[in-house]
Structure formats: structure tokens, C-alpha cells
Amino acid sequence: MAISKRVKDVLLKENRINILSTSNKKGQTDIAVFGSAALTADEYFTLVLKKDSRSLVNIKENPYASCLILLPEEGGKGLKIKGCRIYLKSDLIDLSRNPVLLKERGEGDDVEWEKSFNVQTKKDEKDTKDKDNYLVRFKIIEVRPIVDTGQGI
């Protein structure tokens, strides 16, 4: 799904709040706030998750998730708050020894995650602090406004 410029602008804002909702195969839900979310291409949204996070466990069982993106700095309150809802399906879960956010790879570039960034180096073998990070890539399957009154987004 190609996303609109308006949605891209929301997903590229630095001070947004990303609230991810997942459920496991039994339908038990989880909700969590993430700062590591990045738009990596028109159709892809990525997060870096710890291996013991409930969100990652759920995504491994059920690839569908939704994310509420809020822009508190825009001044809206209640039903006027700015942002969007995105509906997602995970298509890649990759152990990441070197989690690199989009901003560090070229601010604003449409860059897909490259597995070459996950090549283990000798330094990585000694340093275990990042070995429990997983890159989760989601395909954006639908985008909706926070409050849908038929205005589109």
C-alpha cells in the first residue's frame, strides 16, 4: 500500500508517540510504547524489540498488529489530537546485532533494512549487550485517521 505524504509526514516526526498493539494466537493482547519506530520505505514500518518483550512474543505467534501514532506537540486535545492509526503485518523478524535507526542511515531516505547491517563482527562477538535486539519489519496494510469521520488521510 502506498501511503500519502500526510501519513509519511506523521511517521517521520521525531517527537511522536508510537503505541503498538499486538495479540498472541489465543487473542491475549498487549500494548506498548516504542521510540524505535521508523518508516523505512513507503510500505514498511520497523521497530527494534528486545527478545523477552511481550510484543515480540505475540508477533511471532500472530504477525498482525496495529500502531497508534500521536503527535502531542501539534496542540490538539481529545478528538482533535493529530496522528494516525496504522495496521500492520510483520514480514521479517531478524536478530539484530547492530540495530541502526533510519535517522542514523540518512535522514529522510527511503531505505529498506539490509541484512548486511546484521553481519556479525569480531567486536560484536565480544559485546553481548545488543544481541537480544530484534528488528521487526511490518508491511503497512491500512492507514486511518485517529478519529475516522470519513475525512481520509
pLDDT given for residue 107 in this prediction = 44
> DSSP label at 128?
-
Q: In the chain, where are the structural domains located?
A: 5-113+128-144
Sequence-separated contacts (24+) of 97-100 with Cβ below 8 Å: 97/124, 97/130, 97/131, 97/133, 98/124, 98/130, 99/36, 99/48, 99/130, 99/133, 99/135
- Classify 103 as helix, strand or coil: helix
pLDDT tens for 101-151 read: 434 444 444 444 444 444 444 454 455 455 678 889 999 999 998 877 666
- Name the CATH architecture for the domain at 5-113+128-144: Roll (2.30)
Q: Which amino acid is at 136?
A: V
pLDDT band at residue 25 under the 50/70/90 scheme:
very high
Q: Report pTM.
A: 0.75
End-to-end CA distance of the chain: 13
33 pLDDT band, cuts 50/70/90, is very high
Q: What is the pLDDT of residue 147?
A: 76
pLDDT, mean of residues 62-81: 82
